[in-house]
Structure 1
Amino acid sequence: MKIAPECIQCIFDVRAKEITSASLSDHEKILKLKSFLEYYSQIVTPDTSTTLLSWQAFRKVKELMGSEDPYTSFKTRSHQVAVELLSVIEREIKEKIGFERFHYAVKASIAANLVDPGTPSGIQPEALGEKIRGLRLAIDESEKLYMRLLQSSKVTFLLDNCGEALLDTLLIREIKRMGVELKIVVKGKPYQNDITYKEALEYGFNSLGEVVSTGSDFPGVIPGYVSEEAVKALEWADVIISKGMANYEAFLLKPPSKPVFIMLVAKCGVIARAVGVQKGETVAFFLQGSPDLKKLF
């Protein structure tokens, strides 16, 4: 999406924190922050996008830190927490059938985006069931997605964060139960705490569908920045399901020709305004207008 003034500060703050949180001396941190600030001032323009600026800035941080994956430890902790959370949700979902079961999986997938083991407000495994039951989506077109999937044979699912992605398997399994063939798109190289192709294979996502690598660390799927296979995965699908803000922002720049179902938490004011909700609210909706249920059958 097109850059807003507050995006420039937000992206800088996130990248600066990645440097200040590193195991370096204060002297080293100051020098690296100075280098980053000089670089950042050169790439900020009124015509840039949040997707491009975030990507360029993260690549510079990786270069300065001498690390291809600065979030390795965080992703490991996130996955460990997700394993505990998964068992809690599985017990809940077994009690449901039909659309109620599907809708619960949608809410679990979105609620998983709220789990953060690195903050005091992170959801504990025992509390997740209650969190999902009480979750109220500000925009909820899950039923329209459910109906569309009943008429579909091919779905491409874009994953987001590591840990969260493990909880997405509940929804992916529900989609498979509908007789749908799946392609699962993941980052080819590390970008923030997003799940990568290597990690997706390690965690068994290839048993759920064909895992497709973007071949890069770019935040979204835009031709020219990712692999041809990832672009073709979007063209192949009857429906695309997209998790997280970064994928949403990329689709605002280059919308696919196929229907895109967005699932995210509006974690900032800019995204909230773009979606039409309040900051912190959760949404599940079709990007290019939802289908008319009467026309689906």
Structure 2
Amino acid sequence: MKVHYECAPCFLRQAREAMDLITDDDDLKVSLMEDVFELLSKEYYDGANSNYLGSKIHRLIKNKTNSFDPYKKQKELSNEMALEFLPEAKKVLNDTLESYVKLSIVGNMIDFGAFQLDEDIKSLMEESLNKDLKINDVDKLEEALKKYDDVLYLVDNTGEIVFDKLLLEKIKDYDINVTIGVKEKPIVNDACMEDAIEVGLNEYANIVSTGEDTVGLVYCELSSEFKEIFDNSDFIISKGLGNFEGLTELDLSDKDVFYLACAKCPATAKMINVNVNDMFLLKN
């Protein structure tokens, strides 16, 4: 996705929150914010890639503070929140694919990048359980699951992947081989290999690293190994807003791509003509 005017304050909010998680040194924070402003002054312009720019800001902060995983505690909290919420969430499940899709998208609310750290995410999830999908291409998704032998499933956040596991279990009913793409290194609260294995996603799929530590998927930063997997995938399920924003920068007209996410970003909501926090299952 190209940057919108709303991206600038969001970049600064995320930068501030990341700094607050890492250090209490106000002098260091001022220095870091100077670096962030310098980066934005050079690279925030009409047509810039929002995922790539956001990734550079988070890397700048990690490198200058020597902090490998600033959101480590938030990621642990995400998994705890998901497991605590799971029994209530399972009540919406029935035999339909749509119910599993919806629950996996409800899990996308667990996002300490899109929301402020003090946001009441559990309340947002409870509200979402009672909502319908604003865009619902589930029939097309089911057709694809019956059509293809293989699918590439791009996961998003920790916590959220607890709900992805349920959807993956349902997907296996279609006798399809699943490959899961996870981040190589921590970025915000995105899921890495150890996070995916910890919740048992390896029970339903082969897990591979994208080779990157970017916000969402940034094609130019993928490893050569994952580029080959991605390029050869005719059927992709993309979880989360970051992956949606990254993939919509690419020409994927030769693939069947399904986006499952909550429209937590005003710019994205306007882009697909839904309201903020609406849930959608959208075929490219």
TM-score clears 0.5: yes
For 2:229 and 2:170, locate their aligned partners in 1 and report how far apart those are by CA, in whole Å. 20
Matched residue, 2:98: 103
How much has 1:21 moved relative to structure 2?
A: 4.1
Cα 1:34/1:77, change in 2 over 3 Å: same
Cα 1:238/1:43, change in 2 over 3 Å: closer
Q: 1:277 aligns with which of 253, 274, 277?
A: 274
Matched residue, 1:38: 38
Figure out how many residues of one structure are paired with residues of the other and give that number: 279
Matched residue, 2:195: 199
Matched residue, 1:69: 69
For 2:212 and 2:135, locate their aligned partners in 1 and report how far apart those are by CA, in whole Å. 32
Matched residue, 1:290: none
Q: Is the 8 A contact 2:156 2:216 kept in 1?
A: no
Matched residue, 2:220: 224
Matched residue, 1:112: 107
For 1:51 and 1:23, locate their aligned partners in 2 and report how far apart those are by CA, in whole Å. 25
Q: Deviations over 1:108-150 (max 9, x none)?
A: 011112246954522269x84x842x22111111122112212
For 2:51 and 2:140, locate their aligned partners in 1 and report how far apart those are by CA, in whole Å. 28
For 1:50 and 1:201, locate their aligned partners in 2 and report how far apart those are by CA, in whole Å. 29
Secondary structure of the residue aligned to 2:153 is strand
How much has 1:53 moved relative to structure 2?
A: 0.8
Cα 1:131/1:251, change in 2 over 3 Å: closer
More divergent stretch after superposition (115-124 vs 19-28): 115-124
How much has 1:171 moved relative to structure 2?
A: 0.7
TM-score where L is the length of structure 2: 0.89
Cα 1:116/1:259, change in 2 over 3 Å: closer
How much has 1:92 moved relative to structure 2?
A: 4.9
How much has 1:254 moved relative to structure 2?
A: 1.3
Q: Deviations over 1:234-274 (max 9, x none)?
A: 33434211011111111121133311101111112210111
> Partner amino acid for 1:121?
D
Q: Deviations over 1:16-66 (max 9, x none)?
A: 222134331333322332333233323323341111111111111111222
Secondary structure of the residue aligned to 1:5 is coil
**Identity of counterpart residues, as a percentage?**
28
Matches within 5 A, 1:6-155: 6-90=6-90, 92-93=92-93, 96-97=94-95, 100=96, 102-115=97-110, 118-119=117-118, 121-123=120-122, 128=126, 131-132=128-129, 134-155=130-151
> Partner amino acid for 1:162?
T
Secondary structure of the residue aligned to 1:211 is strand
Secondary structure of the residue aligned to 2:175 is coil
Q: Is the 8 A contact 2:187 2:215 kept in 1?
A: yes
> Partner amino acid for 2:263?
A
Matched residue, 1:294: none
- Unaligned runs of 5+ residues in structure 1 are 288-297
> Partner amino acid for 1:200?
A
For 1:221 and 1:82, locate their aligned partners in 2 and report how far apart those are by CA, in whole Å. 24
Task: Name the Cα RMSD after superposition.
Answer: 2.3
- Unaligned runs of 5+ residues in structure 2 are none
Cα 1:107/1:4, change in 2 over 3 Å: same
More divergent stretch after superposition (157-166 vs 113-122): 113-122
For 1:199 and 1:31, locate their aligned partners in 2 and report how far apart those are by CA, in whole Å. 32
